[in-house]
Amino acid sequence: MSSDTPEARNDNTHPYRSLRNNVSLLGSMLGETMAQSHGEEFLASVERIRLLSKSGSNGEDGSWEQLEALLAGFETEQLGLVARAFAQFLNLANIAEQHHGLSREMDAVNSASRTLAGVMELLSQTGLDASAVQQLVSDLNIELVLTAHPTEITRRSLIHKYEEIQRCLGQLESPGLTNYERNRMDRRLRELIAQLWHTHEFRENRPSPVDEARWGFAVVENSLWQAVPDFLRRLDDALLAATGERLPLNAAPVQFSSWMGGDRDGNPFVTAKVTREVLLLGRWQAAALYLKTVDQLVQELSMIECNDALRELVGDTREPYRRAMKDLRERLRSWLSALEAFLDDRPANSGDLIRDVEEISRPLLLCYQSLCDCGMERIADGTLLDLLRQVRCFGINLVRLDIRQHSERHSAALSEITECLGMGRYDDWGEEKRRNWIEAELKNPRPLIPQHWSPSEDTQEVLDCCAVVVDQPADALACYIISMARQASDVMAVRLLLKAAGGGDSLPIAPLFETLDDLDRAPQVITDLLAAEQALGRLPEQQMVMIGYSDSAKDAGILAAAWAQYRAQEALLKVCDDAGVRLQLFHGRGGTIGRGGAPAHDALLSQPPGSLECGLRVTEQGEMIRTKLGMTGLAVKTLALYTSAVLEARTAHPPTPKPHWRDTMDRLGGYSCDEYRAVVRDDPRFLTYFRQATPEGELGALPLASRPTSRKKDGGIESLRAIPWIFSWTQNRLMLPSWLGAGAALARELEEQGDAVISEMFEAWPFFATRMQMLEMVYSKTDSRLSAHYDDQLVSEELMDIGARLRGQLDKDVRTVLKVLGQERLLEKLHWTRESLELRNIYTVPLNVLQAELLARLRRNADEQTRQAIMISIAGVAAGMRNTG
């Protein structure tokens, strides 16, 4: 299968020469595999489709119509094979591109070390002295939260093969390879690509929440476990070069948490039993990883000189370090055995459990200090230092778990309790009565739960979850998040339920503000909450608040949501500052622009001033985990990007919006929300159009995740989760949620107020400039011709005007945003991004065309073969677009 790269492919001086060569190599190997499996005639058909797509993209007359007709004439089985061909090529192109970003060719441009050194230089230019820079780095607090949202469409079996292909590409670039070694790598690549072609693309069944957690732990084991010490070595080197000081041994600038096995909002399969099992599995994985490294240290630390502190620990032994490591190894083995017994529901000695990370770190620190005291710093700073860094980052839990539940579940549980107590229904009370009752119960020493009471199954599950929470050792859990928190009592209710379970006083409870109304109301909710906490004599030093990007954008459109998120963060910072409480913001971003996604550097520099003072806590979701953290080199690069962006944002002091900027954004937010809701909410035909024009209904058949795609059966847009909402529009290339309302609002503002303020905002305000650049990226991925093709194939005649109107609006919006950007065409200044998208489009367009054909066939006459082919096409389009939801 050929790869379409410009003639510069053969130019040895071209900056992307190796990338082009790798794409061509993998494409040709895929073509060979397909020809061997299905014959040269099939390969020729695929090549004809590719050439028609290429001609169509160049505007050649008749190519588009020929492509449609050719694919429409194929049998469903053949369409499935064609879909596999183009989907696999896009996956291989992604591998090559990902590898290129980490290759030696690009190392001088974007390596982690260069990124960190650059930000250190920038910090020194701001006037900070060495001690201030040292303190800023030592105070770093970056927490990435891995979530199990259903956007990872690729099977783990395939992911492992993709990773091995990337490893082979790296080895092929190693200098000094013999012909035999090169031929061996070549054979291995062909073998892996053949394995890909003969492997089913999808899981047979949906993963369970425990399966999802195991996948998350595998990311830690295969990537993050080594990436963390590698990254910290680079940070240490950059800090030493800039200040003459090293990173403190107890520093943990990056940490990881997870929602996998803890997020029960709308997922009935995440139970208290599941949460307990996932917590144990995390500790088991941590124990196994620590044991492996300590085993290595037992072999390596054979030195005989030690200081008095280590001698006191190990006694009179010839090899003190080895003795210390052997003792630690035995302790870890006992811990591992006890965890295995608990997981298998077998009797175990609870005394064998490690509940404090200091049990692991203390002997390691003693060995490290002794080696340094005895002049063996080079040995101390090897594997032993890496292990100390890993212990500080991963602790005894590997990743901390977040618990998330919908506020209605807590209210329903309390209603059952108050009814049993003869007090009426908690749900029927006003906010003041709720808060007063909760405050009284928090002070009351008597048990809240009545004896001999039989709650409903749902309420029992809430109580069981609380029991699991309070039974955990310190640092096992990061926070308890309340979805759709709309008032202070929603937070206080969780505190009361945890008290009833016997603890939970120290666990942060974070309200999640998701809709436009919730964001606007958030400052008052936190004001009321802090007042109640102060009345109880328990005002916290720090309050966590989660900002939901996905649902607010689905509720009001991306521009209105972005401005509401910004305003809410500003107001929350002031509320907490007035109360003498530090605010920790938790950003619930997705991978796509419609769900708050943006390049880390741009996103962080566009935050309100002061919003990163408590560090950065942000979700990494679905396929973005694999894309950004799935391999050691990628993870090191990602951690360096986050670190440099946080350091720069904390010292660059982004401008506070001027009053006339605020007025402009208020108008833009209002206009864009009205435009968005006029389509999505107010047109009674829109829901039907959405379900006809996209594969939304068919997405439910994909075995992506344990969580259902909708909160309620047969609900409207409001009940649909943000991920399938965006995933669906990505597939038909209209990308509606990521732009609707924004361009129309800008056009109205420019017409009524002129362009002076908009131009000023674009030049001087990172928040606004980032929004415009994100719109440019979205528009570059849309394709009105393909959207119209989906309508022609799938939409009933009486709804066709909706799509036509939306595409007309899209064309107007592109022209408006180009005017703001001062450009003639999209991606005018992003040459490689434009080139990459144009190349991908040649392979993505046939997938879109055949997907529309397959959807039409399925809706006329459903059968499993067509359904499977559609699933392959969905995966292929996702690969071409580089994201799903």
pLDDT tens, 718-764? Answer: 767 667 888 899 999 999 999 999 999 999 999 999 999 999 999 99
Residue 835: predicted pLDDT: 84
Rg over CA atoms, the chain: 28
- Tell me the backbone φ, ψ of residue 313, rounded to 5 degrees: -70, -45
Torsion, CA 198, CA 201, CA 204, CA 210, rounded to 10: 120
Both tokens of 147, joined, read 């979530």
- Long-range contacts of range 106-110, CB-CB < 8 Å, 24 or more positions apart? 110/637
640 to each of 110, 113, 236, 274, 364, how far by Cα in Å? Answer: 10, 8, 12, 34, 26
Average confidence score pLDDT of the chain: 90
Which backbone phi and psi does 317 adopt, to 5 degrees? -135, 150
> Which listed residue (99, 149, 637, 789) is catalytic?
149
Listed range (22-31, 411-420, 715-724) with the worst mean pLDDT: 715-724
Which strand (E) or helix (H) includes residue 425? none
Q: Please state the φ and ψ torsions of residue 489, each to the nearest 5 degrees.
A: -65, -25
Element (H, E) at 547: strand 542-548
Q: Hunting for tokens 């971003």 — which residue is that? A: 589
Q: Is the pLDDT of residue 220 over 90?
A: yes
Using pLDDT thresholds of 50, 70 and 90, give the confidence band for residue 9: very low
SS3 581: coil
The SS3 of residue 142 is strand
Helix, coil or strand: residue 782: coil
What percent of the chain is modeled with pLDDT above 70?
A: 92
Separation of CA 148 from chain center? 9
Spatial separation of the C-alpha atoms in residues 109 and 4, rounded to whole Å:
25
Alpha helix stretches (DSSP H) within 580-631: 600-605, 623-629
- Asked if 819 is an active-site residue, the reply is no
What number is the average pLDDT over the span 388-401? Answer: 97
- Has residue 80 got a pLDDT over 70? yes
Maximum alpha-carbon separation in the chain: 89
- Whether residue 867 contacts residue 701, with contact meaning beta carbons closer than 8 Å, is answered with yes
Confidence of residue 707 (pLDDT cuts 50, 70, 90): low
Q: Give the C-alpha separation, 617 to 145, whole Å.
A: 7
Whether 111 has a pLDDT exceeding 60, the answer reads no
Specify the range with the lowest mean pLDDT, choosing from 3-17, 408-422, 760-774, 808-822: 3-17
Chain-centre distance of CA 663, in angstroms? 33
Strand partners for 400? 257
Q: Which residues contact 272 (CB under 8 A, 6 or more apart)?
A: 461, 464, 465, 467, 468
793 neighbors 870 (Cβ within 8 angstroms) = no
Contacts of residue 517, Cβ cutoff 8 Å, sequence gap at least 6: none
Three-class DSSP category at 330: helix
Look up residue 263 and give its DSSP letter.
B
Alpha carbons 603 and 174: distance in angstroms, whole number: 36
Contact by Cβ (8 Å): 63, 48: no
Helix/strand/coil for 806: helix
Q: How far apart are the first and last CA of the chain?
A: 29
Known catalytic residue: 554? yes
The owner of tokens 């425990």 is 210
Judge contact between 243 and 122, C-beta under 8 A.
no
CB 626 within 8 A of CB 723: no
CB 64 within 8 A of CB 70: no
Range with the poorest average pLDDT among 53-67, 360-374, 539-553, 813-827: 53-67
Pick the most confident of 54-68, 388-402, 613-627: 388-402
| Burial environment of residue 343 by CB neighbours within 10 A (0 to 12, 13 to 18, 19 or more) | middle
Q: Is 800 helix (H, G, I), strand (E, B) or coil?
A: helix
pLDDT 10s digits, 849-863 = 999 999 999 999 989
* Nearest alpha-carbon partner for 236 in 227, 224, 248: 248
Asked whether the CA dihedral 470, 473, 479, 484 is positive or negative, the reply is: negative
E-strand spans in 218-277?
254-258
d(CA 26, CA 5): 13
Q: In a 10 Å sphere around its CB, with 0-12 CB exposed, 13-18 middle and 19+ buried, how is residue 287 labelled? A: buried
CB-based burial label for 603 (10 Å; 0-12, 13-18, 19+): buried
Q: Are 727 and 592 in contact (CB under 8 A)?
A: no
Mean pLDDT throughout 504-518?
Answer: 93
- Give me the residues paired with residue 619 across strands: 145
What does the DSSP 8-state code read for residue 560? Answer: H
* Residues in the chain, total: 885
Residue with tokens 């131009």: 759
Residue 733: C-alpha distances to residues 37, 66, 694, 878 (Å) = 32, 20, 9, 11
Which helix H or strand E contains 198, and what residues bound it? none
Q: Residue 202 belongs to what H/E stretch? A: none
**If we measure between CA atoms, which residue out of 594, 637, 715, 723 comes closest to residue 153?**
723
- pLDDT of 106 over the 50 cut: no
- In this structure, what token pair is assigned to residue 136? 């800023």
CA distance 115 to 226: 19
Distance from C-alpha of 874 to C-alpha of 695, rounded to nearest angstrom:
9
Please name every residue paired with 710 in a beta bridge, in sequence order, or none if there are none: 720
H or E element that contains 760? helix 756-764
Residue pair 602/650 in contact (Cβ under 8 Å)? The answer is no
User: Alpha-carbon distance 309 to 304, whole Å?
Assistant: 14
> Binning pLDDT at 50, 70 and 90, where does residue 590 land?
low
Per mean pLDDT, which of 57-61, 608-612, 810-814 is the most reliable? Answer: 810-814
pLDDT above 60 for 149:
no
Question: 382: which DSSP letter?
Answer: I
Lowest average pLDDT, out of 120-129, 257-266, 396-405, 615-624, goes to 120-129
> What pLDDT score does 108 carry?
44
Tell me the average pLDDT across 338-352: 93
Higher pLDDT, 595 or 130: 130
Q: Answer yes or no: are the C-beta atoms of 657 and 767 closer than 8 Å.
A: yes
How many other C-beta atoms can be found within 10 angstroms of the C-beta atom of residue 831? 9
Q: What residue type is assigned to position 260 of the chain?
A: M
Q: Name the nearest CA neighbour of 385 among 224, 219, 230.
A: 230
The residue that leads in pLDDT, 201 or 335, is 335
DSSP 8-state assignment for residue 206:
P
User: Strand, coil or helix: what is 585?
Assistant: strand
Alpha helices (H) in 73-129, listed in sequence order: 76-102, 104-110, 112-125
Q: Which residue in the list 54, 100, 161, 554 is annotated as catalytic?
A: 554
Q: Mention every residue, 6+ apart, whose C-beta is less than 8 A from residue 621.
A: 147, 149, 151, 589, 590, 591, 595
Q: Can you read off the two tokens belonging to residue 289?
A: 């990883």
Q: What contacts 214, CB < 8 A, 6 or more positions away? A: 281
Residues 6+ apart with CB under 8 A from 36: 194
Tell whether the model's pLDDT for residue 419 goes beyond 50.
yes
